Amino acid sequence: MLSKLDHQRAADSLIEAARSKIQAVQPSVTWPDITLRDAYEISRRVAEIKQANGGRIIGHKVGLTSKAMQRSSKIDEPDYGYIFSDMVSLNGTPLEFETFCLPRVEPELTFQLKDGLKGPNVTFLDVLEATQYVIPSIEIIDARVVEPRKIFDTVADNGAAAALILGGCPVRPHDIDLGKIGALMRRNGEIEETGLAAGVLGHPAEAVAWLANKLAEFDLVMEPGHLILSGSFTRPVFAEKGDTLSADFGVLGTVSVALI
């Protein structure tokens, strides 16, 4: 484990990168002995700094939920980050491209909880019972550190979480087979990626259950009202200034965002 001072130094570097939009040196380069536990501690320290400056945590995100992405990151489990209230926008709201360092977009399902969830031993069924709505969404992920990035760098960097765009067609979790929801991810009208929600650990509720149990290792819980991003069905789509990105979720409608 790194020292608390090293955790603070890494967190300060990531906070500055987010402010300046100039990518920082990877924590794994500065501290070659970094562990995954260190990376989560750095992420938590970044979250604490944001909270001290008025930020409000309203949920979490799960990443690396597909086997292909886990293999590419040389890790055998997902990762997570924090969602802050100022990261959330509604469908169709334009966002400034300069808000990000290197934006990419992914189609995902967001679970809005009516009941809290506290691990360990949270199950798929517990998640469905605790969920008020499932909302079609786009996540914008960003990289506040330069390449090449290792899993330690992405985890420390809040799981690359940057923005969440919520769609307008929420559904109750028992009203539809969530695993069979598909998405067409378009960039400027052209289809870039397609996928099914079952690509997220077999079912997106399984990702939320994993997160509840993982958070318990750090004495963290999901609270009523929290938004939980369950993971992408597709590979990320790179975006440039002026692009319009849209995710067509079929019966759940289309979610879009323009980067201006």
Q: What is the DSSP string of 120-133?
A: SS--HHHHHHHEEE
Q: What's the pLDDT at 90? A: 96
| Per-domain boundaries in the chain | 57-258
- In tens digits, what is the pLDDT along the chain, a chain of 260 residues? 899 999 999 999 999 999 999 999 999 999 999 999 999 999 999 999 999 999 999 999 998 876 655 555 556 678 999 999 999 999 999 999 999 999 999 999 999 999 999 999 999 999 999 999 999 999 999 999 999 989 999 999 999 999 999 998 999 999 999 999 999 999 999 999 999 999 899 999 999 999 999 999 999 999 999 999 999 989 899 999 999 999 999 999 999 999 99
Q: What's the pLDDT at 120? A: 95
Based on C-alpha coordinates, what's the Rg of the chain?
17
CA distances from 141 to 9, 33, 166 (A): 23, 26, 15
> At the fourth CATH level, which superfamily is domain 57-258?
Fumarylacetoacetase-like, C-terminal domain (3.90.850.10)
Q: What's the pLDDT at 137? A: 98
Q: What's the pLDDT at 69? A: 59
- Other C-beta atoms closer than 10 Å to the C-beta of 156 total 34
For the chain, how many helices (H) and strands (E)? 7, 12
List CB contacts of 2: < 8 A, sequence separation 6 or more. Answer: 10, 31, 33, 34, 35, 38, 41
Q: What's the pLDDT at 64? A: 80
Q: What's the pLDDT at 183? A: 96
